[in-house]
Structures are given as C-alpha cells and as structure tokens.
Structure 1
Amino acid sequence: MHKILENYGSILLLLVGITLGSIIGLWLPPWVDYLKPLGDIFLNLLFVSIIPLLFFAISSSVANIQGENKLGKIIGLMSIVFLLTIIIAAIMTIVALFFFPVNAGMAPSTNVENPMNDQSSWGDKLVSFLTVNEFNNLLSRESMLAFVIFSFLVGIAARRAGQAASAFTSFLNAGNEVMKQLLLILMKAAPVGLGAYFAYQVKTIGPQLFGFYAKPMALYYTFGLLFFFVFFSLYALLAYGKKGPQLFWKNNIVPSLTALSTCSSLATMPANLNAAKKIGIPPAIANVVIPLGNTLYKNGSAISSILKIYVAFSMLGWDFFSWSTMLTAIGITVLVTIVAGGIPNGGYMGEMLMISIYGLPTEAIPAVMIIGTLVDPLATILNATGDTVAAMLVTRLAKEKFQVQED
C-alpha cells in the first residue's frame, strides 16, 4: 500500500480533486463561481512557465549531445526509427478515430471559430508557424513553434561553440533544473486547479460530460493494447526475424510490470537496459538509444496526443478530419514526444503546446489534461517499453549482430 501511494499518489490526488469538482459541479453549482478563479490562476501559472521551461529543456538537451562518428551514426539511425514509428502511431490513432468516433452525442461547448479555417496560403501559414519578425514575439504562446525552433538553434550554437560556451551551457543546464523544480511546485496545485475547472465544466456541460470521457478512455485502452502487442511484435520481427517477437516479449515482462507499478518511464530504464542485454542488443546501441528514448521516444504519448486533440476539437464542434488539422496534429505529436519527455508532468506542457498552436480556448484545457491523467498507466508502459524495441530496430539498421544471452 505504501508503494502504491508513493508511486501513484499524485495521480490519486488529482483524481480526488476531479471527483470533488464533479460533485460540486453537479450538486453545488453556486459554489462553482467561487472555485473557477482557482482554476484560472493555476492555468495562468502554467502558461507563464511554459516559455522558459521549453527554452531551457530544449536548448540544454541539444547543447549537451556529444559527437563521435559511431555515436553520430547511432543517433542518426535512432532519430529515423523514433520519427517514423511515432508518425505510424499517430496515423494509426487517426485511422482508429475515423472508424470508431468517440464524440457521438457531444454538443459543442462553445462557438469559438476554428483558426485552422483561415484561408491564408500555405506559404503564409508556414512562415507564421515557423518564424516571427520580432524577438519579443517569440515570448508569446501564439508563436510556440517558432520558439521551439529558436531553442533548438540556440542549443546547436552552444554545442558548436564548444569550450568557449561552457559557461553558457552550464547556465542552460542550471536553468533547466530550476524550471523542472518550478513545474513540480506548480503541479502540487493541480488537484485544486483542475478540480475547480472540472467543476465549471460539469456545471456548464452537464452530466453527459462523463459519458464523453468514458468513450475516449475505452478507445485509448483498447487501441493502446492492440498497438502494444501487434506493432511492438511487428517491430521486433523486422529487427530480428522470427525469433524477434518471442525474444522481445520473453524479456519485456519485467519492464512492463515495472512501468505499471511505478508509473514512471525513468524507473523502468534499468529494467529496459537489462532486457536489452538479454535480447543481445550491443551495449553501444542500448546505452545510447534506451536513455535517450526515455526522454525523446514515447508511443503512448503520441497516441494520447492525437486523442486529446480530437477530443478538444469535438468539444468545440470543429472538424478534426481536415488535412491541415491532421497534418498539424501529427507535427504536434512529434514535438510533444520530444519536448515533454524530460520534464516532470511534461504531458501537461505538451497540451499547452497543442492548445497554443491551434489557438484553442481555455475551456478545452481541463479536458485534455484529465484525459492525459486517466491514460497514464498504459501510456507509461507504451512509452517505457518502446525504447527496447526501438533499440532492436536500430541494431538491425546499423547492421550490428545480436548477441543473445542463454539462460
């Protein structure tokens, strides 16, 4: 019991806050007007912190990458594997949502205009998404993609500067640690903040809100389990032939149970490294792909990112299945898996990124945050154990030999 409280305490508190907020929204609606400001304060603090948090997280990570020939090759192949498989996860989730929509019977909660309906040319949209014409505009949530790119470029420049930039790199590393601690402090208030906002949603939308959340959860857990067994088996097959799936699943039991019991990708990494050794993945590959994958590679987050965007669009009565929306959703998903991985509760920052790019109103924020909380156990398993199968694929692409340990 102590271990359960230790590992799932924050999630349980968040669920308690959401439950209390629901009860207040249903049976004590006059209280909602007094509680909603607490939710607004919490969300505003998150919005204020996102810019420095993303800057230090991205630029420090890039600045600290070490470069050797073999390491460069492994990182290059790893990047290809990460990118392609995350895109596959995102596309398959879109396909699942197309054939099994989860928004039936949900009335739009607002009349906000969808900014994706903007008739500007693709060239103008590309320029506005990727760049700004003044530095101060980078600090706006409306310029999030441009800010992410700028942060990457700063990290690359610091890395290229080498020893001359050692003090600046130390500053980036220190800033990253400070902002992580700030986010941990802010998330202490999440049960109250999200509970207050959920009370507002229940009062505004009504009890049908619960039926709406049940459908996305059912789809996530059904599709997520299918993806876990089918696609991870397929990747293992591609990596090591007929022996691959059996070898992977035989050694993936402990990492899967570790991920489920701790609800932490980081805590699962030692089990993944041990599994990689038993599978026969060369240490030079396992010791690069699995630690970096712990931060940068998250299948569970990719699936939930698409689902959350879909849910937000459904709540607002917007069309998710336009090409511009779906392509943007895939791009956001790739960014979310990269940006959110090294940040405590980083999924919330991914949601802020999503909301900023689409220009969603604040009414959509609690919905996507709550879904992120409810899918966390399965998402952690997908995120954590995917690192091992990715290392298997990198081994195959690098033309290295598996050296399987005999029991």
Structure 2
Amino acid sequence: MNILKNYAFTLCLIGGILIGGISGVIFGEGATIVKPVGDVFLNLIFALIVPLVFFSVSSAICNMKQSNMVGKVIRNIIFVFMATALIAAVVAYTFTLFYNPLEGIDKTDFLLNTVQQVQINQLSSSEIFVNTFTVSDFTQLLTKANLLPLIIFSILFGMATAFSGEKGKPVADFLNAVTNVILKMMNMIMYAAPIGLGCYFANTVGRLGEQILNGYLHVFLLYLMLTCIIFFGINSIYVLLAGGKKGLVSFWKNMLTPSLTAIATSSSAACIPVNIEASKRMGVPANIAETVIPLGTNMHKDGSVMSAIIKIIFLLTIFGQESMVSSNMFMIIGVALLVGAVVGAIPSGGMTGELLICSIFGFSPELAGTLLIIATIVDIPATLLNSTGNVVCSLLVTRLSEGKDWVKQIATENVD
C-alpha cells in the first residue's frame, strides 16, 4: 500500500501518456481533437516559467553570493556543460560512421520528394550574438522566448541584491518567499498532468507518425539508438562519478516524472519545475538546482548537439560527400556544438541552426527545410536528452562544488 501511495501520481502519469500515445497511433491526425486540452495544461505551466526563472535564479545567485560560492559554481557549470556536450557529439559522430541512415535509399528520389522551399531570414553574426544574450526592452524579458536574456538579468539582479547587504535583505527574503509560492503553484497545476500531458502526447504522436515513416525512418531509428545510449549509459556513468552507487539509485528513483514530462511535452522549458524538484530530492542544494536547470534549458542541449551531427552527416551523405565525414571530424563536431549549445538559445533559433549548417558546408539554404523535418521527428527524444541532462549536470556541479563526501552523505539519506 505504501508503494502504491508513493507512486500513485507517477502511475497515473504513465497511464495518461500511454493512453495518449496509443490514441495517437490509432487515430492519427484525428487525435488533434484533444489538442486544446493539452494546450490549456501547457499554457498554465508556461505562464509560470518566466516568474519561476526570475525569482529562482535571482534568489539562488543571491544566496550563493552571500556564501561566496557563486564564482566557483558558475565555473563548474560552464565546464560541465561543455564537457557533456562534447561527449554527446563524439558519441553521435562515432555511431554515424558505422550506421548510415541513408543506406539503401534512392537519394535522387528522396531529394525530389523532401526538399522544402523555406522563407530565408538570415542573420549576421553580430545580430545572432546580440539576440542571444540581450533584448532591447524590459518587457521583452517577460516571455519564455527570451529565457537566456532573462537568466542573465536574473543573475545580475541576484548579485546586486547580495551586494546591497542589509539594505537588500528584504528583497532577498522576498525572492526566496516568492520562489516557494511559485513552486507550490506548479505542484498544484501538476495534479492535472496525467490528463493534460496525455492529450498533448496523443496529438504529437498522431501528427508525427506519417513524417517518420515518409523517408526518415532510418534517421529516427539511429537517433533512438543514440538516445538510449546517452540516457541510460552515459548518464549513469556521470551519476556514478557524482554520487557513487547510492547516488545512482537515488537518480533513477527520481527521474521517471521528469523523463515522462519531457517526452510528453517536447519542451525543455516546461520541464524546468519538475527538474528542479527532482534535483532537490536527489540532494542537490536549492541554489545550485535553481541555477543549473534554468541556465541549462538554454545553454545545455546534448540532444540538439546529437541532432546537429546527424543533420550534417545526412547532407554530406545524400550529396555523395561521404569522404568529408571521416576527414572533417573536428569541423563537424565543432559546428554541432555551435548549433546545439549556442544557436539553440536564440528565439526561433532552430531555423537559424539549419541555415548555419547549410552555409558552413556550402549547401543551398533551401535544404534548411529538409533539416527542419529531421529536427521535428527527433524532437521528442532530443528533448528527453536536453531536459534530463540538466538534472545530471546539477549533480555533477554539486559534486565539483560541494565535494565527494557531501554527495555521498546526501545520497545515503535519499536512499534510506
């Protein structure tokens, strides 16, 4: 009975998503009838994302600054983000050398049937840089499309509050109090998750099924295989390094709800609240969880890096330039890191990433539409890796910032 009580919500969530997935397979595009229900649920969550990011990041930075930890934690975050993204890129690149997603496909007919005409809105490098990190007006921060500028603003606000000393203490208390209230609101909304996520997932499966089968099945299967390797294998290695065997048990014990939320929503932003909560249950300090998770949502995208590798290999192969795959390893991995970790932070950055790949490797911008189809069909597993990878990073940052003994102690408490 205790097991049923403890996992009742998770079982309901699994049931809702399974029913939604089966409905999407059976009814196809007819499943869009339940889309409004899923949209209402997601809109409730999205409405809380901006205040949650602002208050949680500001309060976390303020608390860390007061304990003189902020510099060390930020350095560790950057190191962990870069290292895990690089490993994901190398794994994806290595596997594409052994499994060609276009093997056995008539490439001429494939191109004729899939090349899309797209509207090109190319940005200069300076415009990309400015749009990535800043907005021109405060009101533009109040949208989830500009999360990275909002995070930078929140970090500065938190540091300014901490530097204000006693005069800033009322503001620091207010930030902490509002963060707790918003997290409570999110918990209330999540009671509707089994129905809301189930309906949204039904629409997603019904909409994507035909695209996956229309010439891109091999690409999808390759990405699923890579997803399993990273999600179960590489992530487990990271967690073992962070917290040992007991930390690993604690990790997988608390990862089901964040994973299901990522799969059902295909939105890393929507997963911020559940990822923060899961990280805290694993023993990650609140100030680290509330900094790593929001920042990682924009800057740490292992799934997108892997997707970029496949897109580049896809183009080189379909135009008969397979020799470039093995001779340009560093260039391919470098571009994938740029597309996945930097361009992904730009509002509507997806198409910018596709255009960047085409431009660097000398292909027509019209092929960006074809790459966008690949991004669409791998969006669910990519979101799973992008989102849950942030939880893994919070554990690694905790390990580097707090020390091995601390992590072992927390892991023991969680398992016991």
SS in 2 for 1:269: helix
- CA displacement 1:14-45 (0-9 Å, x = unmatched): xxxxxxxxxxxxxxxxxxxxxxxxxxxxxxxx
Distance (whole Å) between structure 2 residues aligned to residue 143 and residue 266 of structure 1: 27
The structure-2 alpha-carbon separation of the partners of 1:6 and 1:331, relative to structure 1 and needing over 3 Å to count, comes to farther
The structure-2 alpha-carbon separation of the partners of 1:254 and 1:142, relative to structure 1 and needing over 3 Å to count, comes to closer
What's the counterpart of residue 338 of structure 2?
A: 335
One-letter amino acid of the counterpart of residue 91, structure 2: M
Gaps of 5+ in 1: 10-64, 111-139, 156-168, 182-208
What's the counterpart of residue 363 of structure 2?
A: 360
TM-score by length of 1: 0.60
Distance (whole Å) between structure 1 residues aligned to residue 301 and residue 314 of structure 2: 20
- CA displacement 1:341-381 (0-9 Å, x = unmatched): 44555333322222222232134222211011011111111
Gaps of 5+ in 2: 1-30, 40-60, 110-120, 147-211
One-letter amino acid of the counterpart of residue 252, structure 2: W
2:318 matches 1:315:
yes
- CA displacement 1:155-192 (0-9 Å, x = unmatched): 6xxxxxxxxxxxxx6626556779959xxxxxxxxxxx
1:110-149 alignment, distance < 5 Å: 141=122, 144=125, 148=128
Distance (whole Å) between structure 2 residues aligned to residue 70 and residue 396 of structure 1: 14
The structure-2 alpha-carbon separation of the partners of 1:241 and 1:215, relative to structure 1 and needing over 3 Å to count, comes to same
RMSD over aligned CA atoms reads 3.4
Distance (whole Å) between structure 2 residues aligned to residue 338 and residue 324 of structure 1: 23
Distance (whole Å) between structure 1 residues aligned to residue 135 and residue 103 of structure 2: 51
- CA displacement 1:271-315 (0-9 Å, x = unmatched): 111111110011221111111011111111111111111112222
Distance (whole Å) between structure 1 residues aligned to residue 324 and residue 105 of structure 2: 17
Assess if the C-alpha contact under 8 Å between 2:240 and 2:247 holds in 1. yes
Displacement of 1:248: 0.8
Specify which of 384, 393, 397 is matched with residue 396 of structure 2. 393
What's the counterpart of residue 244 of structure 2?
A: 241
2:136 matches 1:171:
yes
SS in 1 for 2:321: coil
SS in 2 for 1:281: coil
Distance (whole Å) between structure 1 residues aligned to residue 123 and residue 259 of structure 2: 38
What's the counterpart of residue 213 of structure 1?
A: 216
What's the counterpart of residue 95 of structure 2?
A: 96
- After superposing on structure 2, the runs of 4+ consecutive aligned residues of structure 1 that deviate more than 6 Å are 175-179
What's the counterpart of residue 35 of structure 2?
A: 5
Assess if the C-alpha contact under 8 Å between 1:141 and 1:356 holds in 2. no
Assess if the C-alpha contact under 8 Å between 2:344 and 2:353 holds in 1. no
Identity fraction in percent = 36
Assess if the C-alpha contact under 8 Å between 1:103 and 1:212 holds in 2. no
What's the counterpart of residue 372 of structure 2?
A: 369
SS in 1 for 2:102: coil
Distance (whole Å) between structure 1 residues aligned to residue 278 and residue 36 of structure 2: 25
Displacement of 1:99: 1.0
The structure-2 alpha-carbon separation of the partners of 1:177 and 1:354, relative to structure 1 and needing over 3 Å to count, comes to farther
The structure-2 alpha-carbon separation of the partners of 1:381 and 1:322, relative to structure 1 and needing over 3 Å to count, comes to closer
Count residues with an aligned counterpart.
280
Distance (whole Å) between structure 1 residues aligned to residue 390 and residue 105 of structure 2: 37
Displacement of 1:320: 5.9
2:283 matches 1:280:
yes
Distance (whole Å) between structure 2 residues aligned to residue 210 and residue 3 of structure 1: 22
Distance (whole Å) between structure 1 residues aligned to residue 256 and residue 143 of structure 2: 36
Assess if the C-alpha contact under 8 Å between 1:308 and 1:368 holds in 2. yes
Comparing 326-335 with 258-267, which one deviates more in the overlay?
A: 326-335
Assess if the C-alpha contact under 8 Å between 1:293 and 1:387 holds in 2. yes
TM-score by length of 2: 0.59
What's the counterpart of residue 76 of structure 2?
A: 77
The structure-2 alpha-carbon separation of the partners of 1:305 and 1:76, relative to structure 1 and needing over 3 Å to count, comes to same
